[in-house]
Structure formats: structure tokens, C-alpha cells
Amino acid sequence: MGIRGLAGVLFLTVAVIWYLSGLEGYKIFVPGLAQGAAMTLQITAAAAVLAVIAAITAALSKLYGPAPLRWLAITYIEVFRGTSALVQLFWLYFVLPVFGITMEAYEAAVLGIGLNIGAYGAEVVRGAIISVPRGQWEATIALNMTRAQALRRIILPQAFAAMIPPWGNLFIELLKTTALVSMITLGDLAFRAQQMNQTTMKTVQIFTLVLLIYLAMSLAITIGMRVLEHRAARGILRARAA
Amino acid sequence: MIEFPMVSFENVTKRYGALTVLDNLNLTIARGEKVAIIGPSGSGKTTVLRMLMTLETIDGGVIRVEGEPLTHMERNGQLVPADQAHTRKVRAKIGMVFQSFNLFPHMTALQNCMEAPVKVLGLSRDEAEARSTELLEMVGMSNRRDYYPSQLSGGQQQRVAIARALAMRPKVMLFDEVTSALDPELVGEVLQVIRKLGAEHDLTMLMVTHQMGFAKEFADRVCFFHSGQICEEGEPTAFFQNPQNERSRQFLRAVLEAG
């Protein structure tokens, strides 16, 4: 679906949320869910930034770092990909305090989810870097560029275009993973929904709204990434097609 | 014997696993000399250029550029493997043009030419632009300076690639089958640029080529490679008219028959 089509679906989703919010059976849940949605968005945004930084750092370390750094990156990637995000959150919030390291629930949430998605992202970044044709590296050697210059100016800009679509997937995955933070006492969208459901038993109304809100947020992510993809493709992908 | 060679290969050996690609190669190239390297595929001729550009390591022997070892450096009178700084210092004298152009697709023709002079040589943007514009002019691409590689034909891309390599002011230029990926009607424009380059500059040039006519007309010397060794070398007219070696004769016959 094109960007316009997606924008249409997003508009429709928001319109339905708006309409439902005005109805008698739904109205009372709106303030609580709005608070939850704000928390979800905040964690998503912060964790996304952390995930990108962690992914690039780990990917570069794994590809070009000296042995100790490489092993550190591999360990990070395998541990965070190989265990469940929920267990990681529990570790950060409930287990680490046993060893004297304490943090706020919000910090644990951003750290846990950011590092979890970053581990997947590291492989995305690594794959995109490897996919840049070898001839590009050879050209940088022939021009006597250093490896750092080659990476920064030639390889990463080209890899960037290739990694945008998979990052779109990861950001949506990240958004949905934030539902786990309710398990470490944070009042996100999923948490608010469960809380109100337990007291009112209005399951249909509450979870219809929650579903639509998550959908609207993930559509917004998809659209944002498509726009980015479009921009990055200029000069590179168009270049290859011609 | 060439007294102060620009480039010399001394007993250079290259292996890929059990396969010996180059076997004790000895080749000396004078300053300003144009050498054409020809031979069947798999004869190791491209490897010669790639080793000189440090795109391949070597397994034995020494390569020197203006007498200075490229893959090694002297320490306490002994040759030890070169470190990064030494390699870059010697490598700065060499430029290369590739069969598949390898232009940077996210940069325009001008940006492609300016990138390394600014980042590697530390030229100001103005200086780099002046130098690049002049070179793009020379290869007949100044009217396309703001085009991306994707918007250029193969021949145009290759001419930009030549300008890009020249912008680093190398003393030795390597041309690795630079017309092999081009449509036949575009070969001429690239050869024309190389011809001009040879006439106007005192560049040392090594080219691996399948264009026998061009090699004959352009080169000072032809080296015929076979199975990782120089089978025959000599002045082009003599070589093409009267090859001495049976393998050279076979090769030339096959190439001429193919047209």
C-alpha cells in the first residue's frame, strides 16, 4: 500500500476512535486510556532511540572491533535476542536490586526494551553494511581513505537505505513489546486497560479502544518509515534501477 | 635494466589456497611508461594490479614504488610487514580505475571527485572543486557534474571514475579492464580519454585490457601473462606482428578470430 493509502487507513482509525470516545459506554475510559497511551508512546520513543544507538554500536563492534569488543557485542546480541523481553525486564527491575543496582521502573522499561530491540537491530545494521557491494570498499582503498572515513562517508549512507524497512518492523515490534512494562508496575496502555477491565468488566469497550489505539500508533510508525525510505532512496535506489 | 623504476615487483608470489595465481613475478616499470597487460582469464593479470593497489595481500616477495617497499617497511635494515600508516603513505602514489566503475551512488559526479581530496588530502572545498571541475572538463563530463551515477551511461560513469582517481594526483594509474563492462559503442569515448591522459601527462600507466588494437597503439610495452607468469613481453608492434612464444601465438590467434 502506498503512503497515501496508509494515511487513509490511519485517518479512518483515528476517526473511529474519535467516534467511539463520544459514545456513552466508552466515554468513561477515555481519560485513563489516554494517560496509558501517553506512557506507551513515551517509552516507545525513548527505547527506539536507545535501540538504534545500541544496534549501530554492536554491529560496528561485531564487524570491525578488536576481539574483546567483538565478543562483547556478540554476547550482548545473543543474550538479548535469546531470552524473553519479559525476563529481561524482571531482571532489570527485580533482580538487579538484589545486587545493589536499583532503577526506576521507567528507566528499567526503556533500558530493557531498547536493548532487546537493539539486539535484533544490530543484525539488521550488520546485514545492511555487508550488503554494500565490495567494489565500494575497494574504491575507498584506491582513494586512500581510512576505514573510518570509508564507513562514515561511503558505506553507512548506502547501508542506511537498506536498513530502513526492517527497522520499520522492529519499531512496531518495539511498540507492542511495551505492553510488557505493565508487569513492572508501569501504567502504560495495556496496564490501564487491564486495571479498568478488572473494576468495570466492560471488556468489549475497553479492548476495542485499546486495539484501535495500538493500531493507530503502529500505522503512524509505518508511515513515518515509508517517508524516510522514500527520501533515502533518492540518489541510491533510483540510482541502481536506472 | 631500468635504473630508477617507478614500480617493481620482485619475486612476488600470490596464492589462493593451493592455487598459485602468481609465481615469482619479476616486473619493473619505468617512470612514465605505459604497460599493457594481456592474457587469458585466470592468468593472474588483474591480480598484479590489485596487489599494487593493496586490494590483495602478497604471499612472497616485495613490491616497490619509487624504490620504497609497499607491502613492507624497513626497520633496523630488515623488511617487516607494513603498518597502516606506511601503506597509506606509499599507496597515495597509486590510483585505480575499475571494470565496474565503483562510483559512489549517493554522490554526484562532482562530489565523487571531491570526496577524497577533501577528506584524505585535506584540500579546502574550493580547491577540491576547482581541481575536480578541471578534471571533469578533461574527461568531457563538466556538463554532467551534478548528475548522479545512475543518471549517466556506463561510458560517462567510467570517465567520471577516471577523473575521480586523477583528483588524488597519483603517479601511477591502474586500469583494470576499464572497457569490459561497457556497451561496444561506449568503449571509444573511454579509450579516447585514456589516450589523451597518456599524451598530456607524465603518468605511469598499467592497464589490463582485452582491447588489442588499443594496447598496440598506446602501450610502450606489452606483457603477456599465462598461468601466473609473464610468458612474453616486448615492444607492442613486434609482439603483435611476430610473437615468439607458442602460447602468445595461440592467444593472439584466438583473440583475432573472435574479432
Q: For the residues of A97-115, what is the DSSP string, one character each?
A: GGGT----HHHHHHHHHHH
Distances, alpha carbon A151 to alpha carbons A67, A130, B96, B119, B166, in Å: 19, 11, 20, 13, 22
ipTM: 0.94
Tens digit of pLDDT for each residue in B34-91? 999 999 988 889 999 999 999 999 999 999 999 999 988 888 888 888 888 999 999 9
- For the beta carbon of residue A236, count every other beta carbon within 10 angstroms: 21
Q: Which of A144, A235, A241 sits opposite B92 (nearest CB)?
A: A144
Q: So where are chain A's domains?
A: 3-18+31-235
Work out the angle at residue B159's Cα, subtended by the Cα atoms of residues B177 and A233, and round it to the nearest 5 degrees. 100
Over range A210-229, report the average pLDDT: 94
Burial class (CB in 10 A: 0-12, 13-18, 19+), B247: middle
Per-residue model confidence (pLDDT) at position A37: 93
Beta bridge partners of B223: B37, B233
Tens digit of pLDDT for each residue in B22-36? 999 999 999 999 999
Q: Which of A132, A144, A155 has the most B C-beta neighbours within 10 Å, making it the best mutation to test the interface with B?
A: A144
Q: Which of B54, B96, B102, B110 has the most A C-beta neighbours within 10 Å, making it the best mutation to test the interface with A?
A: B102
- For the beta carbon of residue A229, count every other beta carbon within 10 angstroms: 16
Given CA atoms A184, A189, A120, A111 in this order, what sign does their dihedral have? negative
In this predicted structure, which of A85-89, A100-104, B77-81, B135-139 has the lowest mean pLDDT?
Answer: B77-81
**Amino acid letter, residue B51:** M
- Of A242 and B183, the one with more pLDDT: B183
User: Of A116, A120, A233, A215, which Cα lies nearest the Cα of A169?
Assistant: A120
Q: Which three cell numbers stand for residue A233?
A: 532512496
Instruction: Collect all residues with Cβ–Cβ distance below 8 Å to A18 and sequence separation of at least 6.
Output: none
Distances, alpha carbon B237 to alpha carbons B211, B234, B244, B252, B259, in Å: 14, 9, 13, 13, 18
B99 to chain A, closest Cα gap in Å: 10
Q: Provide the whole-model pTM.
A: 0.84
CATH of region A3-18+31-235, choose from 3.30.750.24, 2.60.40.1930, 3.40.1800.10, 1.10.3720.10: 1.10.3720.10
A148 to chain B, closest Cα gap in Å: 11
Q: Which three cell numbers stand for residue B58?
A: 602478497
Judge contact between A178 and A44, C-beta under 8 A. Answer: yes
CB contact under 8 A, B102 and A236: no
Whether A134 contacts chain B with CB within 8 A: no
- For the beta carbon of residue B113, count every other beta carbon within 10 angstroms: 32
CB contact under 8 A, A235 and B92: no
Q: Nearest chain B Cα to A156, which residue? A: B106
CB contact under 8 A, A239 and B120: no
How far apart CA A178 and CA A43 sit, in angstroms, is 7
Distances, alpha carbon B180 to alpha carbons A33, B101, B155, B186, in Å: 65, 11, 11, 10
Q: Which three cell numbers stand for residue A138?
A: 575497494
CB contact under 8 A, B55 and A149: no
How far apart CA B175 and CA B37 sit, in angstroms, is 10
Tens digit of pLDDT for each residue in A160-214? 888 999 999 999 999 999 999 998 889 899 999 999 999 998 899 899 999 999 9
Given CA atoms A193, A195, A198, A201 in this order, what sign does their dihedral have? negative
Q: Which three cell numbers stand for residue A139?
A: 574504491
Q: Which three cell numbers stand for residue A17?
A: 476512535
Reply yes or no on whether the pLDDT at B117 is more than 60: yes
Q: Nearest chain B Cα to A231, which residue? A: B106
Judge contact between B4 and B171, C-beta under 8 A. Answer: no
Per-residue model confidence (pLDDT) at position A132: 95
What confidence tier does A240 reach under pLDDT thresholds 50, 70, 90?
very low
CB contact under 8 A, B55 and A141: yes
What confidence tier does B1 reach under pLDDT thresholds 50, 70, 90?
low
DSSP B151: G
Whether A241 contacts chain B with CB within 8 A: yes
